[in-house]
Structure 1
Amino acid sequence: MSIQPTGAKDQVARLLTLVPFLHARGAVRLEDAAVALGVPAEQVLADLNVLLMCGLPGGYPDDLIDVDLDALEEPGGDGVIRVTNADYLARPLRLTPTEATAIIVALRALRGSAGEETREIVDRALAKLEAAAAHGTGTVQIDPGDTPGGPDLVRLEADLRQATAQHRQVRLSYYVPSRDEQSERVVDPRGIVSAHGFTYLDAWCHSAEAPRLFRLDRIAEARVLDSRIESDPEPPRDLGKDGFFPQSSETTLVTLELDPAARWIVEYYPVHAVRRRRAGRLEVDLVVANERWLQRLLLRLAPHARVLTPEAYATSYAAAAREALNLYP
């Protein structure tokens, strides 16, 4: 199979896919990588030759990524891709506020002309960047996490599907953004569902004694147990029909008005509804389980977010904002 002529844009896209792929799997045969990435083996080899010229600023040999081309091009080579001197790719990316702002602006411009699949990826990147930038620290640290469909999430989804099919309980270590805490719980899995660019486990939660949705990229650990589920087996919910996270006695539906600078929370947190308003503002319904968590979030967003309802939350937030201002001379 011959290499089809492609531009720099296509090659950059392939490299951005190839590097995390190789880093996650270690040594991979050239033919296997080509099949997994959906391109000819010759194209993967050509991209690896470009990868040799990539690396940290400086351009010295120790700064550049190293690829064992002899194993791929020499007659006696074993055809296995070996990439070294690229360990820094697994470390969180550190950006200055200026660098983060420049990337956010570029991503927003890209989003306007992107297709639906690309827009979902851009939205996730924007959510991480804007969430980190909102902390206001001197250095913005971005945890790259797993790319959508990455190996860890693929294995997690496969394990959860198998547990569902076998009616086995699962012990989850799960991050709850509404309470800003890591929780431990045992659930009866009902199935995997997707909505708004994210994948969820729909399950009966024994801690909450109610059905819950668990976003896969927020599951730190999932251990399939030997014990069988205790609730009645049911199919997963249709999120398009039932909507996100219905209210319960433990939650409150809060309506916020967001300026454009605070719109990132729509991409970062699950919301119940979004309504567009003038001048780029959004009116958002957010299901909240902890008022203190909401106050911390709003103080970070100030002055770009306001509580519309319930009135009690608006009053308590205004009081918290005044107390914060009184701390400054």
Structure 2
Amino acid sequence: MAITGAGGGIGRELALLCAHRGANLALCDINEAGLADTADAIRRAGRDVVTTRVDVSDSDHMNEFAAAARARFNGVDLLVNNAGVGLVGGFLDTSLTDWHWLVSINLMGVVHGCDASAAEGTTSMVNMDITKTNIAVDRALAATENPRHRHLLEAYNRHRYLEMAGRFEEIFEPDMTVANPVYRFDFLGQKLRLEGVDQVQAVYRAWTETDQCVFYAEDEEVAVSDHMVVSRATIYQQTVGAELAQGFPGIDPDAMYLVRTASMMLWPYDDRCRLIGEDVWEYETSAREFIKLAPEDVLTAARAGELLAPLIKSLQPFDDSMLPAALPHRA
């Protein structure tokens, strides 16, 4: 998150509020002393912060601020153009110099902020925080008390992180997946059915070797029942152009694309919370988008693995008390 005018007043208070709610921050102000005080308070709250002395009326300053934010955080999720000034007096009492000053900060400062962020904030996987791609699963876990449902959500969480990290072999450990899983895909105008560990792993291996295992879920909704986890989300997945070019005109076969789809995922599980397979389909083709990536905007599977490693937790052993027959009867 980036905030201008964070050296005092509303900007400072907003920065502190967001830090206490878990945000890392890029902050700027023309007041270096006030900016340093705000940054110190954020660090005491346990969050990361980068600061830049900026005059928002100067577009070069704002470009430097945007570059600093990108260098530290791989992009900005939210920009708050908070910096502003004011004068008290009648129109005829306000000089032309004062009007230029007001407009250069209150209007052009906002323009400079948006322009700098737009220039560096192109849609790419390196600008998306894949450590937050399972945030909807985390919310569901926080609201779930049923021990079986919690185990399913934790298995789902671990599975997705392992997939994105290129550690797909671990998905097929006997406590996570049945011996003969079946995957069905229906998206981008193609249908694919995979049966058995060998077929599924072959696809995961190809995706990992070409950095196509990396994806991001946006606006996700997750539901869980005794034998099912269901998700609906906007998915961004890195996809090689050579595969897309077979079905879509205008695709560069030598490029990597970020493919945006509106997707549904239905994952069935057996009585012991082992994955039976996946049913994944594109439910709204009008939301489909192909975003060509520059080579430097591709997030490699190796780098994704480094980012996700701290989030990949071991799955707790299954307990027979989580069997459906052992759970309390629910009317």
TM-score clears 0.5:
no
TM-score, normalised on structure 1? Answer: 0.26
Structure number with higher relative contact order (C-alpha < 8 Å, ≥ 6 residues apart): 2
TM-score, normalised on structure 2? Answer: 0.26
